[in-house]
Amino acid sequence: MRSQQLRSLHSAHQRIQKFQVSSQFRLPRQHCRLVGAPPAGSAHVHRPGQVQGSGQESLRRQIKAINSLSDAGMFFWDYGNAFLLEAQRAGANVEKQGGGATEFRYPSYVQHIMGKAPGLAVTDNIAASVLEEIGANVSDRIRQQYNDNIRWIREAGKHKMVVGSQARILYSDQKGRIQIALAINKAIADGRVTAPVVLSRDHHDVSGTDSPFRETSNVYDGSAFCADMAVQNFVGDAFRGATWVALHNGGGVGWGEVINGGFGLLLDGSEEAAQRARMMLGWDVSNGVARRCWSRKLQRLRDH
């Protein structure tokens, strides 16, 4: 039995080595001159069909290697279906037997562990109603931001989402985030939402990330190279009631170039959860607003 397992592992290892050598997201050799620097831009303009065809042929080869490795026992998933979607469009073998138009033979993102969110229609309406109430009395400077997010939430249900648990992502200011959290928490307490809800955010936000190459690239007082904002965000969120916090390197611009502070906040309908939302979400936003005001970005204070 052990001998058979070793042979199987050796076979899979050989396939992995072959995949690494022959299919590292490269175009076929015969097209290297076509897209090589510096004529790459010219090729995309003057021979787009040929460039697209080379890319699609590469996708088909990658899927063939992935399918072979999967058959040998490798677990594969797509971070957001963009890869599988484009592979499908290229004619690669990624269809799920008996699946719908947006389903593939491999899971997308983390949907295999998160599943679907049955209460989205309720939480969509809660979020949109809160933003509409606030947006009716905001300044012209930020009214368009509110209108964009209201439209996104109101129309989100009609789109055929293919990423993860179909969770909603939207931008909102400090007041909006707190009021949405409190309204959802109350809906859980009232029984209109039948399960706890977790709020979180991306690193691409006002306060969670220090990176002189992206999030803090417009901070010119010299502190853009310090990680004090992300660390203060991480520690402050922890002390103000976050369910979990994270402080990590990398994300967006790569390892060594950025520090991220993140959180997850569980809403379960309790008064304690409401108090945590008030304290933590206020800090999570204000920390970044203050950070930019210190660096003389006074428009940040006006916008919030």
Structure tokens at 216: 């803090």
For residue 272, what pLDDT is reported? 97
DSSP E strands, the chain: 197-200, 209-210, 244-249, 259-267
What is the mean pLDDT for each group of 10 consecutive residues in the chain (304 residues)?
38 37 34 45 75 91 95 83 84 88 76 62 90 91 89 80 60 89 96 91 76 80 83 92 89 76 94 96 88 67 50
Alpha helices in 247-297 (DSSP H): 271-294
**What gap in Å lies between CA 65 and CA 72, rounded to an integer?**
11
For residue 104, what pLDDT is reported? 87
If phi > 0 it is left, if psi is from -120 to 50 it is alpha, else beta; for residue 236 that is alpha
> Which residue type is seen at 84?
L
Name the residue among 193, 207, 216 with its Cα closest to residue 284.
207
For residue 80, what pLDDT is reported? 59
**What gap in Å lies between CA 129 and CA 132, rounded to an integer?**
5
Question: CA dist 101 to 31, 60, 77, 150, Å?
Answer: 32, 19, 17, 28
Half-sphere exposure of 213 (CA within 13 A, CB side): 10
For residue 61, what pLDDT is reported? 96
Q: Which residues of 120-136 are buried (b: 16+ CB within 10 A; e: fewer)?
A: beebbbbbbbbbeebbe
Phi, psi of 123 (to 5 degrees): -70, -30
Q: 126, 190 in Cβ contact below 8 A?
A: no
The model's pTM is 0.64
For residue 51, what pLDDT is reported? 85
Place of tokens 């050796």: 10
For residue 142, what pLDDT is reported? 86
Q: 210, 252 in Cβ contact below 8 A?
A: no
For residue 63, what pLDDT is reported? 95
**What gap in Å lies between CA 301 and CA 304, rounded to an integer?**
5
Structure tokens at 121: 């229609």
Q: How far is CA 43 from the centre of its chain?
A: 32
> Which residue type is seen at 114?
M
Phi, psi of 260 (to 5 degrees): -115, 135
Alpha helices in 104-157 (DSSP H): 111-114, 120-135, 140-156
